[in-house]
Structure 1
Amino acid sequence: MAHVRVVIAWLPGMLAAPEPIRAEVSAVEYYRPDGRFAPDANAARIALAQDHAAEQLSGASLAEGFDATWQEVDRLCRAEPEGRVVRTRHGDPMLLSEFLLTRVVEVAVHGLDLADALGREPWMTPQAADVVQDLLLGPDNAAAPEHLGWSRLRFLRKATGRDPITREEAAEVDRLGIRWLTLG
């Protein structure tokens, strides 16, 4: 929960910063395999979330902080014009709308992580599942999970590294031309 709050809390600073001239990176390109998802970068993200969680002292205060953060971010983003470009903390100039897609991905996949941590059945809202699947496959390739014999949730768990993929499954994924995103 602390990590999800942190990844959303980047937005006020991004919106207050000077606007880049043009977007150069899409949401899919944001998840490219480079240093941003290297083990040391992942460890730094985990440490930041742990520090934030420790500051909150309780689950209730963490939930209250998240509630205040998402409401502020929602208000700020709604005030921005269509086509607004922001610079991510990684230096990527991208459309605000594309960056917001990356936040949906973060909330969705960490919701799967949370369900796993709590020993609960994983779930994802249909809207979030649509966003993540479209990002992975493109909006015209919505039938890919069925081509693999997977439910949509199983596909999303495998595609985001939450469920291991076998060698045979990897071969079929390659044959279908599916590209996994690099996720930390």
Structure 2
Amino acid sequence: MDQGRVWEAFRLEAGELSRAVAGLSEAEWDRPTRCEPWSVRELLGHVRVVIAWLPQMLDGPAPDKAEVSAAEYYRPDDRFSPQTNAARLGLAQDHAAGHASGAALAEGFAATWQQVDRMCRDEAEDRVVRTRHGDAMLLSEFLLTRVVEIAVHGLDLSDALGREPWLTTEAGAAVLELLLGPDQLDGARELGWDRPTFLRKVTGRAALDVPETTHFERLGIRWLTLG
């Protein structure tokens, strides 16, 4: 996927999430989400954590070549084991608890994604990074996985807060192309879903019936393993 499109999707989707959580009451921050046992504040803490890996990745040595794509990053291995998932849960909870208020957490999230945006813009198109799981990836491919995180968890947060989804056109298109490839986008439109519904369906947040599952399989969808 074109590097410029990925960076734009990241910037716009992160910006929408920042605006959505600005001004939440403490009661709203404590609402439960479908990502149990996380509350709204803990789920935003998770999103901030997964973005915050990037600065240290960019400061580290660049591998000689990329070996893993964004789709391959979500393969079912130890990164989604019960032990890793438990550590992921605890890290988000600890991060959220380290802020005096939801407002401070929101400010920290905004500062983090803006720093990442600035750093990425200084990198070459062929920049390769090493993820914390050991994958050598093009920066643009890893950043696409961050778009997935912000977009999908943005839906979790909007649902928890009882708001209309704020999913941007750019992020929705980027995730859809990751899942289906550029040649199957018309086939996805045959289902008649808007993009928030599509993402809820393909990530297990809304049920798929047998005809829908068959349609997806015919399109050759890339099912992602998510923690």
Q: TM-score, normalised by structure 1?
A: 0.93
Contact 1:9 1:69 in 2 (8 A): yes
In the other structure, the counterpart of 1:176 is 219
What SS class does the counterpart of residue 72 from structure 1 fall into? helix
- Matches of 2:164 and 2:206, distance apart in 1: 13
Matched, 1:119 2:162: yes
**Aligned mate of 2:94, from 38, 48, 51:** 51
Identity of aligned residues (%): 68
What SS class does the counterpart of residue 22 from structure 1 fall into? coil
Contact 1:20 1:85 in 2 (8 A): yes
- Matches of 1:75 and 1:146, distance apart in 2: 35
- Matches of 1:133 and 1:178, distance apart in 2: 10
- Matches of 2:72 and 2:140, distance apart in 1: 14
More displaced stretch, 114-123 vs 8-17: 114-123
Residue 163 of structure 1, CA deviation: 1.2
Residue 67 of structure 1, CA deviation: 1.7
Aligned partner letter, 1:25: V
In the other structure, the counterpart of 2:80 is 37
- In structure 2, do the counterparts of structure 1 residues 168 and 11 end up closer, same or farther at CA, with 3 Å as the change threshold? same
- Matches of 2:129 and 2:95, distance apart in 1: 24
Residue 18 of structure 1, CA deviation: 1.1
Structure 1 stretches lacking a partner, 5+ long? none
- Matches of 2:120 and 2:189, distance apart in 1: 35
User: What are the superposed Cα offsets for residues 19-50 of structure 1, whole Å, 9 maximum, x if unpaired?
Assistant: 11110001111111222123332222121111
- In structure 2, do the counterparts of structure 1 residues 69 and 77 end up closer, same or farther at CA, with 3 Å as the change threshold? same
Structure 2 stretches lacking a partner, 5+ long? 1-43
Matched, 1:101 2:182: no
- Matches of 1:73 and 1:128, distance apart in 2: 17
User: What are the superposed Cα offsets for residues 130-177 of structure 1, whole Å, 9 maximum, x if unpaired?
Assistant: 011010011221123323343332111111222122233222322332
Contact 2:74 2:225 in 1 (8 A): yes
- Matches of 2:110 and 2:218, distance apart in 1: 43
Aligned partner letter, 1:165: L
Matched, 1:66 2:114: no
**Aligned mate of 2:191, from 140, 148, 152:** 148
Contact 2:71 2:222 in 1 (8 A): no
More displaced stretch, 142-151 vs 40-49: 142-151
- Matches of 1:60 and 1:150, distance apart in 2: 34
Residue 105 of structure 1, CA deviation: 0.7
**Aligned mate of 2:56, from 9, 13, 18:** 13
In the other structure, the counterpart of 1:25 is 68
- In structure 2, do the counterparts of structure 1 residues 43 and 168 end up closer, same or farther at CA, with 3 Å as the change threshold? farther
Contact 1:145 1:151 in 2 (8 A): no
- Matches of 1:147 and 1:19, distance apart in 2: 42
Contact 2:68 2:135 in 1 (8 A): yes
What SS class does the counterpart of residue 86 from structure 1 fall into? strand
Alpha-carbon RMSD across the aligned residues, in angstroms, is 1.5
In the other structure, the counterpart of 2:171 is 128
Aligned partner letter, 2:162: G
Contact 1:145 1:152 in 2 (8 A): no
